[in-house]
Amino acid sequence: MRLARTLTSLAAAGALLAGGLVAAPAAQAAPTVDGKVSAATLTWGVKSSFRSYVKSSIAKGAITVSGGAKQAAGNGAFSFTSGTGSVLSGKGTVGFKGAVKFTGHAGQMNLTLSDLKVQLTGGGNGYLVADAKAPKSKITKAIALNDKRIATVKVTTTKASGGKVALKLTSVKLTKDGSAALAGFYPANTVLDNGSVAGSYVARVASKTSVSAAAFTKGTKPTATVTVARLSTKAYPSGTVTVSWTIGGKTTKKSYALKASAKGKLKVTAPQASRTAVKVKASYSGNTAAKASASSTLTIKPR
């Protein structure tokens, strides 16, 4: 009887789950890349059927890699190396070294793809960017494309922590420029091989901005000190600081360059004199090493 009751309970639980009455665990959101990427490798094969065609008895061609690129055994995918770049809040570009050349048809095919980049535009979307070169031949026009978006991609971040970053590139489809880069062999929206990126990663750290000031003499210009605290990495922040002054109900903004040599300190002066209290607030733009931050609004009273 106990066994029967147990089996009945398990069956009932399964029915509830199948009917949607028991919520399945929520999927974790993909991490956001927010920092510097280095020593990265882009693995991408362009299109497997194209690689096969180049080496077929029809094209009788060859595939060669150079400049740090490699090809996997068995006419496999390519690896473009030494990737570097910054991706801030999920948007940015990582560029890679290496080139791949496709030749065939007794020299009539002579196409080189190089200077590949992965460009992330946010929201899980992005592009593959490349240069494409080919001389004019009997079967193709001359090709000379620089930094063109040759394919759209869907980007999934599988890791952005512990000093490592990893991306999956799926739904890779040729753009109009990508079709031109491949000499029109394939039309726009043709599905290409999926790809991936893996490399080293340094995430941006938080910053903290504050404003301090003493009372000012009536009829003079108030002054204040903006402080962007030393980062957790022990580095001093650099970037742009924007200061907002509100005097007599009118707000004026001015931006300043903060250098690391200033050790996070910036002295600022109001744009005009005042006989009544003024308000001041500072915002730090952040950079590739530090996130943006803003101070609270400080009221400076006259004396």
CA–CA dist 291, 297 (Å, integer): 19
Average pLDDT of the residues in 22-37? 73
Residue 28: what pLDDT? 62
Looking at residue 291, its pLDDT comes to 97
Q: What angle do CA 225, 226, 230 make, to 5 degrees?
A: 125
* C-beta separation of 63 from 100 below 8 A: yes
Condensed to tens digits (0 to 9), the pLDDT of residues 229-283 reads 999 999 999 999 999 999 999 999 999 999 999 999 999 999 999 999 999 999 9
Structure confidence at residue 18 (pLDDT): 41
Query: Is pLDDT above 50 for 2?
Result: no
Q: Is the pLDDT of residue 23 over 70?
A: no
Residue 16: pLDDT over 90: no
Residue 289 has pLDDT above 70, yes or no: yes
The pLDDT value given to residue 141: 87
Q: Residue 149 has which token pair?
A: 């978006």
pTM for the complete prediction? 0.83
Per the model's pLDDT, the better-predicted residue between 8 and 216 turns out to be 216
DSSP assignment string, the chain: -HHHHHHHHHHHHHHHHHTTSSPPPPPPPPPPP-EEEEEEEEEE-S-HHHHHHHTSTTT--EEEEETT-EE-TTT--EEEEEEEEEEETTEEEEEEE-EEEEEETTTTEEEEEEEEEEEEEETTEEEEEEEEEE---SSS--EEEEEEEEEEEEEEEEEEETTEEEEEEEEEEE-HHHHHHTTTSS-TT-B---EEEEEEEEE-B---EEEE---B-TTB--EEEEEEPPPTTSPPP-EEEEEEEEETTEEEEEEEEEPGGGTTEEEEE-SS-BSS-EEEEEEE---SSB--EEPPPEEE-B-
pLDDT of residue 293: 98
Predicted pLDDT of residue 92: 97
Tell me the pLDDT tens digit for each residue of 107-163: 999 999 999 999 999 999 999 999 999 999 988 889 999 999 999 999 999 999 999
pLDDT for 140 equals 81
Cα–Cα separations (whole angstroms), residue 16 to 3, 19, 141: 20, 5, 62
pLDDT digits (tens, 9 = 90+) for 173-204: 999 999 999 999 999 999 999 999 999 999 99
Tens of pLDDT, residue by residue over 65-76, are 999 999 999 999
The pLDDT of residue 176 is 98
Q: Is the pLDDT of residue 4 over 60?
A: no
**Alpha-carbon span 115 to 108, nearest angstrom:** 23
Q: Is the pLDDT of residue 27 over 90?
A: no
Q: Which of 267 and 18 is assigned the larger pLDDT?
A: 267
Using the predicted structure, report yes or no on whether residue 86 has a pLDDT greater than 60: yes
Mean pLDDT of all residues in 14-23: 42
- Give the pLDDT score at 61: 96
The domains found in the chain, sorted by start residue, are 35-203 (no CATH), 209-300 (2.60.40.1940)
